[in-house]
Amino acid sequence: MIGDENEEYDIVENIDQFKNSQSGAEVAPAPQENASDDLLPVDDEGMLDPESRSEVEAEKDSHVSESQLSAMVNEMQTIAQGIASLERGFAAKIKYDAGQKETIATLHKELQNYRDGLVFKIMKPILNDLIRLYDDVGRLVDGESGQASADVDRMWRNLNTFQASIEDILNRYGVESYTVSGDDFDG
């Protein structure tokens, strides 16, 4: 080697210029590579100069932005999963509400049937039997009231009381008392 690196570089440059001058082409001098281009400039105390410091911070910000972007993507995925979960919940609630609506409609129909006389239809045979019993007791009292005896008289009063009790029961169920000519009851 001849001297230091810069002298060696100058020699190589001079040789290239010489060759090019022989060929007639003019060559621009080769750029000098500086090993310090990749390094950040520092001051005498080893601190970054303010201009270089802003470049470093900008580079950090770009890394922060990437991490923030990643966090935002994760958050958006979480939100999307939450929305999907809500959609499933809404679908289940709608299905549940439809079942509830069907149950309410069924109960309403049953209530209407009761109002339309279903209860009376069920109770009609019992009421008819009570009416027959009332009529039978009435015929018994009317047919035998001619005998005069203290025991028989007490028995007739008891039968009249029994007949009045049956009439009260029938009245509570909406059956009105009336008299018809003839003995036939068609219940």
**Residue-wise pLDDT tens digits, 45-59:** 666 666 666 665 656
| Residue 70: inside a domain | yes
| Residue 41: inside a domain | no
- Mean of pLDDT over the chain: 75
Q: Is-above-0.75 flag for pTM?
A: no
Task: Tell me which residue range forms the domain holding 69.
Answer: 50-172
First to last CA, the chain: 139
Task: For residue 35, name the pLDDT band (cuts at 50, 70, 90).
Answer: very low
| Residue 156: inside a domain | yes
| Residue 69: inside a domain | yes
> Considering its fold, how many domains does the chain have in total?
1
| Residue 15: inside a domain | no
28 versus 132: the higher-pLDDT residue is 132
| Residue 43: inside a domain | no
Across 29-44, average pLDDT: 55
| Residue 103: inside a domain | yes
| Residue 5: inside a domain | no
Across 83-111, average pLDDT: 95
